[in-house]
Structure 1
Amino acid sequence: MTEFVLVAGAWLGSWAWDDVVPDLRAAGHGAHPLTLSGLAERRGEPAGQQAHVQDVVDLVERRDLRDVVLVGHSYSVVPVGQAAERIGDRLAHVVFVDAVVPVDGEPFVAAGPWGKEVAEAVAANVGFWPPLTAADFAGQGLTDEQITRIVAGATPHPGGSLTEPAALARPLGELPATYLTCLLDSPEPPAAVAALLTGPTWHAAELRTGHWPMFSEPRELARVLLEAAAR
């Protein structure tokens, strides 16, 4: 039995996986959605990127999970990629959902041209990255109801997690991994990911949906995760 540990991106908590979990459990696997420190029901807890890495490691170790598939979405790919190295032989596979990947010594805000805008938003909002508005979700394959659900559940994201550098012990290319590109968000993965996909342990997957497939295409996302677990 595979144990899926599911970590959503910025502003979101474990609730973001509510429509994905049933299909994983119906297939006979464990599913463990995780809320990172400082978000959703954990709002107010001290939070930084390394705290988020530890959140993932702690869940795996506390529940003594084996044959673990770590799933990171958007921002959470950065702590999930680091946690994957730290859980040792408990790891079976990592799935990176539509995101940048961690780079040793670099923060999340250094990963793309939008980093300056994110850093300025954090500085202007008392150390938090404010959630997106409904208009920001246009063109992402979401219904009005799904957009309302995301906006209503989102909480400000702790800014320290975005500016704290990643710490990798070994190259990401050594991990058994699947990278999922959401085509409505971007037709191709980032250049750093494309290079990793040329290696023997990385695999590519695609969904014709936007950046939040756990809402727009939860059953298709579950299918991708199950296929990754079977590799």
Structure 2
Amino acid sequence: MATFVLVHGSWHDGTLWADVADRLTERGHEVHSPTIAGHGPGASRAVTHDDCVASITQYLDEHSLGDFVLVGHSFGGSVIARVAERLPDRVRRLVFLNAFVPVNGTSVLDNTPPAYQELFPQLAAQTTDDTVMLPFEVWREAFIGDADLARAEETYRLLTPEPLGPTVEKLDLTKFYSLTHIPRSYVLCGEDAALPPGDPDHGYLANARRLGVFRLVTLDGSHEVMFTNPALLATKLELAGRD
């Protein structure tokens, strides 16, 4: 059995992995789902990407975790890449779940389609704390299209504003791209329209190809399959995380 550390993406916090974590625990795995700094209800949004990474490494240290499968969803992909830079000998495997693998020297937002690059700063400029809240129509159509309307509305109420800062910081990932000894997997959800399907520059496969040698695991489901089919996702994370 394995130890899984599940790192969430934008607008999420660690509690939103609960259904997937329960399925993995039922299969005998040890599961941790920390919340990234600046995320979740009531958290200060005045954080940097370094703060996001430090919050996960601190959690791993406090729980004396080693030899774990480190899973990053969406924005969490940029976080786990930098966690691996800091703890390269403690990560058993990296698993990117429809996640960003930013080009070295770019920001997460740089690796999104132009529409998001324009929209996010505009939304943040309308707030007092430089945050972005995903519009419901984008959530419903692009992020959770495999849910009925009631489930889409229910899950949208679980989201919290995302700090813009960590998504626009340029990231030095030189060390990450040198860590070829850490196995990595990419889990690809086939009904995910959060990034344009088939986009050669901004799509999920463009991110996956940056990993070099990697294991590809596919499944039916949207960007938010942890809400719509947690049992299937748990099974696929097992496949992605095995030796």
TM-score normalised by the chain length of structure 2: 0.85
| Structure 2 alignment gaps of length 5 or more | none
Q: Which amino acid aligns with 2:136?
A: T
- How many residue pairs align between the two structures? 229
Counterpart position of 2:172: 167
CA distance in 2, matches of 1:34, 1:135: 26
CA distance in 1, matches of 2:184, 2:118: 29
Counterpart position of 1:218: 230
2:189 to 171, 179, 182: 182
Question: What is the CA-CA distance between 1:221 and the residue it aligns to?
Answer: 0.8
* Residues 1:173 and 1:224: Cα distance change in structure 2 (over 3 Å): farther
Counterpart position of 2:122: 120
Spell out structure 1 runs of 4+ moving beyond 6 A.
none
Q: Match of 2:32, SS?
A: strand
**Contact 1:7–1:33, Cα closer than 8 Å, also in 2:** yes
Counterpart position of 2:132: 129
Whether 2:83 is the aligned partner of 1:69: answer no
- Greater mean alpha carbon deviation, residues 69-78 or residues 164-173: 164-173
* Residues 1:163 and 1:33: Cα distance change in structure 2 (over 3 Å): same
Counterpart position of 2:161: 156
**Contact 1:81–1:102, Cα closer than 8 Å, also in 2:** no
CA distance in 1, matches of 2:9, 2:176: 23
Q: Percent identity of the aligned residues? A: 28
TM-score normalised by the chain length of structure 1: 0.89
Q: Match of 2:157, SS?
A: helix
Question: What is the CA-CA distance between 1:157 and the residue it aligns to?
Answer: 0.5
Deviations 1:105-139 (A, max 9, x none): 21111112222222222223231011331563136
Question: What is the CA-CA distance between 1:2 and the residue it aligns to?
Answer: 2.0
| Structure 1 alignment gaps of length 5 or more | none
**Contact 1:143–1:216, Cα closer than 8 Å, also in 2:** no
* Residues 1:143 and 1:62: Cα distance change in structure 2 (over 3 Å): same
